[in-house]
Amino acid sequence: MIARSVALTLALTIGALGSASAGQQAGKPAADFSLSDASQKTIKLGELRGKVVLIDFWASWCEPCLRELPELEKLHKQLASRGVVVIGINIDRERKNADELIARLKLSFPSLYDPKGQVAEQYDPPKMPTSYVVDQQGVVRLVSEGFTGAADIAKLKTAIEQLLAAPPK
């Protein structure tokens, strides 16, 4: 388990170093995806147009993810009534690991499963976790790599607030 975690983390790091222009970037349309949650409800990013969406890639073996997820839950509870959608995309190969963590942390925002890494491959997150703030027109406005604490959540919240305050295009 630890060896696999280290190998995946190393692969993500090497991938990020080897291809600075690869993956989802700010200012570009967000790659559409369709994934299911624990109840088999499918969420398609394209159907969320008109809303600000925060997409976060995470894994149960990722220590920074374990610190970030409760903070994203708070953000979700603060902003859901304003139409902001927080989506977690889990990349664990073993779904039970994700399910256990979701239950333990009492996460209420949609957590989608990407066990084959197809959406993660499209987005190519440079670190774990990585968050993407997508505007109402479906364009990525912020890519936040990693998680070190409150400053990262403040950065996400500021970007979201700016999008909510901007007149729709």
pLDDT one-digit tens code per residue, 66-120: 999 999 999 999 999 999 999 999 999 999 999 999 999 999 999 999 989 999 9
**Burial profile 93-102: b = 16 or more Cβ within 10 angstroms, e = fewer:** eeeeebbebb
pLDDT of residue 127: 94
Tokens representing 56? 């976060």
Cα 39 to Cα 42, 84, 98: the distances in Å are: 9, 21, 13
Looking at CATH, the fold of the domain delimited by 2-20+27-165 is given as Glutaredoxin (3.40.30)
Q: If pLDDT is split at 50, 70 and 90, which confidence band does 169 have? A: low
- What single-letter DSSP state applies at residue 139? B
Per cent of the chain over pLDDT 90 is: 80
* Mean pLDDT score of the chain: 88
Does residue 33 have a pLDDT over 60?
Answer: yes
More confident residue, 67 or 21: 67
- In single-letter form, the type of residue at position 72 comes to L
> Nearest 5 degrees, angle CA 133-CA 76-CA 161?
50
Give the model's pLDDT for residue 23.
85
Which residue from 111, 117, 121 is spatially nearest to 85, judged by alpha carbons? 111
Number of C-beta neighbours around residue 24 at 10 A? 20
Residue 13 has pLDDT above 60, yes or no: no
Provide mean pLDDT across the span 142-150: 96
Collapse the DSSP code of 27 into the 3-class scheme (helix H, G, I; strand E, B; otherwise coil) and give the result: coil
CA distance 56 to 144: 9
